Amino acid sequence: MFGNDIGMLTSVKLWLSKTFSMKDLGNASYILGIKIYRDRSGKLIGLCQSLYVDKVLGRFQMEHSKKGFLLVRHGIHLSKSMSPKTPEAVIQMSRIPYAYAIGRLMYTMLCTRPDISYALSITSRYQSNIRSEHWSAVKTVLKYLRFRMEGQLVGDVASRAPLRPPELKQST
């Protein structure tokens, strides 16, 4: 729970503890795979999914891939007309977990990484009848996330400004 009214928070916690069997674990540091950073002196809060992104990279054997500096390669043009024509190509591409990768990337985008939204809007259109170019575009997004692993949303608690991505800086 969070809020500005300490008295209200205390009364809600008291009511919950009387109604349900619960234990106060203190400040949350992780929730749904999202790391919560707090800078109380600067009145900032940050959300980061680096562990989740690392698991996603591992799922697609990309944890040791090259790091990508761009979300979308220049000159890439994806379309439905690119879909495989031969039955062998359809079978080969059906083994690629394209929709699974798009789903994982969408969760990442919605929670902490709005910077990948454009690339996902392009790649998520083609979840059936994909071709290697479509899969390559998704891998480009994964490589970018490997490069920007520690990217997080940062919000100014005092001004109640919306969360924003931090300034770009290279991660090692």
Domain locations in the chain?
A: 50-147
pLDDT digits (tens, 9 = 90+) for 28-37: 888 888 898 8
pLDDT of residue 165: 58
Tokens of 96: 């690629």
Q: Grade residue 65 by pLDDT with cuts at 50, 70 and 90.
A: confident
pLDDT digits (tens, 9 = 90+) for 74-115: 667 776 776 667 788 778 778 889 899 999 999 999 988 888
pLDDT digits (tens, 9 = 90+) for 118-160: 889 888 887 777 888 888 889 999 999 998 887 777 877 777 6
Report the distance separating Cα 129 and Cα 101, nearest Å: 15
Query: 119, 71 in Cβ contact below 8 A?
Result: yes
